[in-house]
Every structure is written in structure tokens, then in C-alpha cells.
Chain A
Amino acid sequence: MSWIASHFNYVVVVILMMAGLFIVFSSGNLIKRMIGLAMFQTSTGLFYITLSKVSGGTAAITLKADSETGRALAAPLDPAYVEQFGVDGVVYSNPLPHVLILTAIVVGVATLAVGLAIAVRIREAYGTVEADEINALSRVTAEQAEPSP
């Protein structure tokens, strides 16, 4: 397999991550920024799951030893490969990154909601969710509070 084929997933992960980063940096809209952060976070998940994939593997829900499904899964694979990397005759993908990303996704939506709640409160206080307008407004209020000498 050529480099681009075997590392294609990483390239895509980086592209998605940079797309998220670009949205966060370029957009002044706080809600669009949160969308960018969400995309950034998903790309991290993609990266972990890419690392956990084992070719010819199956999801880490173990089958009973010598089951019919297990034999069918191992049939197209090289027996030596299954012997070396399989468990009870079936090759599984690595479950550990799945665990980490599973919880990260749910925590991600929770933190997304907190960020959006802050954006909503900012909208209520300043009347806008555009970062540059908020900056201008808070500068005005600061000058009013402390009149320059």
C-alpha cells in the first residue's frame, strides 16, 4: 500500500481539524465558532478510532469461541494472521479508544451546550453575538465607566 493509501485517514483528520480551526479563527460569530469547535472535536474522535482499527477486524463485542459467526468472519482471512492477532479465532478492533471517544462525544455535547448558553447570555447583554461588535461595545462601556483624563 502506498503512503497516501495507508495514511489517508490521517490526512482527512488533519483537514477536518484545520477546517474547524479555520472556522474558530476566521468567524466572528460566537455560534459559528462553537460549530467549528464541535467539528474540531469530532476530528479528534476520528483520529482515535482510526488508530484503533485493525484490518480484517470486527467490532469489539466478543463472540463465543468457535461460533458460526466467528468462523464466517475468520474465513476470508489468512489463518496465520488470525492466529497471531485474533482472540479465540476472531480478529477484533481495539476497544479502548472506542471507550474514550464514546464518553468524549457525550461530554462534547454537554460542553457545547454550556458554550452556547454563554453565547446566548452575551447576546442578551450586548445585543449581538459578533465578537468584534462585542469588543467595540465593551470598550465603549469601559470608557464611560472611567472617563479618560
Chain B
Amino acid sequence: MSGPTIDANFALNIALLLMLVAIAFAVVRTRSLLAAILMMSVYSLASAAWLMVADAADVAFTEAVVGAGASTVILLGAILLARGEAERVNWKLMIAPGALAVVVGAVLIYAAGGLPNYGDPASPANSHVGRAYLEQTYGDIGAPNVVTAVLASYRGFDTLGETVVIFAACIGVALMLGFGPRATLAPPTEIPNDQHVVLRVVAKLLIPLIALFALYVQFHGDLGAGGGFQAGVIMAVAIILHALVFGLRATMAAVPVRLARTVAALGVVVYAGVGVVCIINGGGFLDYDYLFSPRIEAMIPANLLGDPSHEHHWGQHFGILFIEIGVLLTVSATIVTMFYGFAGRTLETIEAERRG
């Protein structure tokens, strides 16, 4: 199977993968932690571009916001607290891991020979359950974005688990960095007084736009690429931008630490609550077809989405909407809490908390 688009796709695939390898070697080679983090952010950008080539639009979206945005900021906050200098290099200690990596890599590449060709439409992974999802989702759920439908409805229970894991990570970071005696490290004594007028004006313009865009991504999630995970991180990035430009204290006045922690828990409650409502109405846990009792479902106008001829599954539509809101709340509050934990582990935070 070949053709102009397929060839272009394949060429881009190779080019971007080679870029990834080059960046990975740069990360391995560099001795400076800061350079490594910077290269990881470039790595995320390149891998998200590759994900677009491999048709994974939703994953590219997530990788873009998480890899390039959230994880870079969190890593920076961590090396700030760890005062991470360039690491020491002892060449003798690299021989054994290097040999191990080469041997394991050789074995894995040998084993990769048994895997299906790139783009094989008849491979086992692509022929059974994946195809069934593609064929049945629109009839079952009515959402064009199969990824969101599978994520939120078919595999809703699994996604609840992921949300709880994220919430648990939020608790973990808050416990380790958010409470108790603060860092013994003195805050940097001298802050240069650069004006940065341009930056502050642009940031003031951008923050509401980013937040608005997060809501668009959230509510557009079952129609196009997007969803609660992406929207949550984008929302958190808007708050992080505010903190970066206007200072953590101003941000903590707008989004207090307690609020962020409460919202993180609330998201899980919303998600699980939808499941419980489904049980009350006679279905299984997270079985959205039972989300509304028949009386309420009859009250929903048939042309709500502008297509009265199509038979809509309102329970599925609204169930996905509600649990995505839960995911949004948990993810955004978690990332914000983590940022507060890392960036605010100085004397400033404890004052803000005492006052709030």
C-alpha cells in the first residue's frame, strides 16, 4: 500500500523520529540539569508533532500541554529546590550501564522483528477491538470523537482509576511539600528589578484567553480533539502563567491553596457521583444510559444538538460531559497544587497560608 499521502506521512514519521533520537542523545550527553530539562521540553514538542503524524490527535494534544507545559515547570521547580548543579561524571561508572543498555536494546530490537509492520491495517492490535470501537461508537454513544467516547464511556471505570491516581499524586505532593516546616534553603537574596512591561501586558491579555480556550477544549471534547485531561492542564497552565508573571502571592490570593486542594477532591467526587446516580436509576456503575430517569430524559428537547432526526443517547452525552468536568477539576487542581508545592516551598507560601 503506497500513495503520495502515505509516502509523505512515512517520510515525516522517519524525520521526526530521527529528531527524537538526536534530542535523546543530547539529554544523555549533557551534564547540566537545566540543559537536560530544556531538551526534554523540546523532546515533548517533537514527539507531539510525531503523534500528529501517527494520527493520535488527542494524544498529541495531551503531550503538548503536559510534556511541554506542566512537566517542564514542575521540573524547574524541583531543581530550584534541590539546587541541582551539573551532575558529576565518572566515566568508569558508565561502562556497566552502557553495556547493559546495548545488550538489552539488541535483544529488544531482535524481538521487534516479530512485531507487525508499521501501518499494517490487518495487525492483531488493529483488527479486533479497535475496529469494533470505530464501527459501533457513533451508534452507541453519538460522539464523533471515538477516543473521548472510549475514554469516558466504554472505559469510564478505568478513567476513574486514573483520576484517582492523579488525585493521590496530588495528596502525595501536598503532603511532602505543602505542609510542615518549610525548606531550610534561604530564598535568593537579590532579585533584579527588571521592568518587563511587555511581558506583563501580554500575560494579562493571554491568561483569560488561555482559560477560555481550556473551556473550549473541555466542551468540544466529544466533537473534536480535546477533553477533560487536556483542558485541565491548560487551565492549570493559565494559573501557572499568572504566578510566573505576577508572583505566587498574587496567584494564591486568587486561587488559594485550600481551594485547589478542595477542587481536586471535588473532581473525583463528581466523577464517582455520576456513577452512583447511574446505580440509583437502575443501571450499573457509570452506565450512562441510566443517568437520567425516563421522565427527565423525555424533557430534553430533541433538537438540543440541532439534529432531531438522529436518535440521541442523552444519557451518554451528558454522562461524558459530567465526568469530563470531574476530570477537569481534578487535573487542573492537581497540577496547580503541585506547582504551589514546588514553586512555593519558600517562606512566602507559609505566610500566605497563615493569612488565608
Taking Cβ atoms with an 8 Å cutoff, the residues of A that contact B are 1, 3, 5-23, 25-32, 34-35, 38-39, 42, 45-46, 49-63, 76-78, 81, 84-85, 87, 91-99, 101-103, 105-114, 116-121, 123-124, 129-130
Contact = CB atoms under 8 A, between A and B. Distances in A.
A14 B112 contact: yes
Nearest to B51: A49
A118 B25 CA distance: 27
A120 B342 contact: yes
B355 to A, nearest CB: 24
A55 B119 contact: yes
Contacts of B122: 85
Interface residues of B, number: 117
Interface string B48-62: 001100111111001
Given A87-B134, A105-B59, A117 B21 contact: no
A21 B25 CA distance: 12
Given A110-B334, A116-B74, A54 B37 contact: no
B137 A62 contact: yes
Interface string B12-27: 0110011011001101
23 contacts: A7-B113, A7-B117, A10-B115, A12-B18, A14-B109, A18-B105, A19-B101, A29-B33, A31-B75, A32-B87, A53-B54, A55-B1, A60-B145, A61-B147, A62-B138, A76-B4, A76-B5, A92-B55, A96-B133, A107-B165, A107-B169, A117-B177, A124-B185
A101 B59 contact: yes
B116 interface: yes
Given A54-B121, A55-B119, A107-B162, A114 B172 contact: yes
A121 B185 CA distance: 12
Q: Which one of B4, B33, B129, B223 has the highest number of Cβ atoms from chain A below 10 Å of its Cβ?
A: B33
